Structure 1
Amino acid sequence: MGKIAVSITCAKNDTDKATVGFVVANASVASGQETVVFLTVDGVYLSEEGYTNDIHEEGFAPLKELMSQYLEAGGQLWVCSPCFKKRGLDEEKLVNGAKIVGGAKLIEFLSQGAACITY
């Protein structure tokens, strides 16, 4: 089993990239890879419960559904701590399965041979 990190830097400012990031993450976890989605910069907004309810790019499943499928399949969802704090988000409103981490956690994962793709 390999290791894949999918870094998502956008949210409603680029719903296409946010959606495709989770499509790729779902493909990764479905193929048996240890997969981490790292939400950073504006991507941290995706970690807020209810935020993705109205995001649905044509040709893809709704983003909320993609995120749920990813987490149910065993994918990990990490949220950049400094980015989260900078935007004044509330930890009480995190989606189930999301974990706030620092950059060192991502670096540790990458140093174990993980490939990374960024959206």
Structure 2
Amino acid sequence: MPEETRELVVVITHGTDHELSSVGLTIANGGLTAGLKVAIFLTSAAVDIVRKKASDTTHVKPLEPLADMVRDFIGRGGALYACTPCVKARGYEQSDFVDGVTIAGSSVIHERFKRGAASLSF
């Protein structure tokens, strides 16, 4: 029987103004490189990371620019979710976000936890 791919959920709560958003994206992309199935769940100020052009000027050296890490994560098949209540509280809509972001409630990560996913929070 083939081994199932392990899952990782990365919860990010910090926005473009905090280095932990870049750390979270770096760890998530590293998880993809390691062969994990990775989902990012953005809550609170972190939903701003995926607003169009919002992270274009965020670069925490020596890490990659934040916008590049978001594009890389989505392009490599990572699942990227923005918390529904957090999005609504800020008056955002789907059209405010970069392509590849899904607005969803916490049930999307709970399903992964029920399957045994590991989690990290930033």
Q: What range is the shorter-chain TM-score in? A: over 0.9
**3-state SS of the aligned residue for 1:57?**
coil
Q: What is the match of residue 57 of structure 1? A: 60
Alignment TM-score, normalising by the size of structure 1 = 0.95
Alignment-mate amino acid for residue 101 of structure 1: A
Aligned to 1:90: 93
Q: TM-score, normalised by structure 2?
A: 0.93
- CA-to-aligned-CA distance 1:3-40 (integer Å, 9 cap, x gap): 000000011341x1000000000000111111001000
Larger radius of gyration: 2
Return 5+ residue gaps in structure 2 as ranges: none
CA distance in 1, matches of 2:14, 2:75: 22
Structure 1 CA distance, aligned partners of 2:47 and 2:10?
A: 13
What's the counterpart of residue 11 of structure 1?
Answer: 15
Q: For residues 91-110 of structure 1, what are the structure 2 equivalents within 5 Å?
A: 91-110=94-113
Deviation at 1:93, TM superposition (A): 1.6
Q: Equivalences for 1:29-44 in 2 at 5 Å?
A: 29-44=32-47
**How far apart, in 1, do the equivalents of 2:61 and 2:30 lie?**
19
- 31-40 or 86-95: which moved more? 86-95
Percent identical residues: 27
Unpaired runs of at least 5, structure 1 = none
Cα distance in 1 between the residues matched to 2:57 and 2:23: 16
Answer yes or no: is the 8 Å Cα contact 1:55–1:62 preserved in 2.
yes
Q: State the match for 2:79 in structure 1.
A: 76
Q: Give the Cα–Cα distance (whole angstroms) in 2 for the partners of residues 98 and 12 of structure 1.
A: 16
1:91-111 superposed Cα distances (whole Å, 9 cap, x missing partner):
212111000001112111111
Q: What's the CA shift for 1:86? A: 0.7
Cα RMSD between the aligned structures? 0.9
Code of the residue aligned with 2:73 in structure 1: it is: Y
Do 1:30 and 1:73's aligned partners in 2 also have CA atoms closer than 8 Å?
no
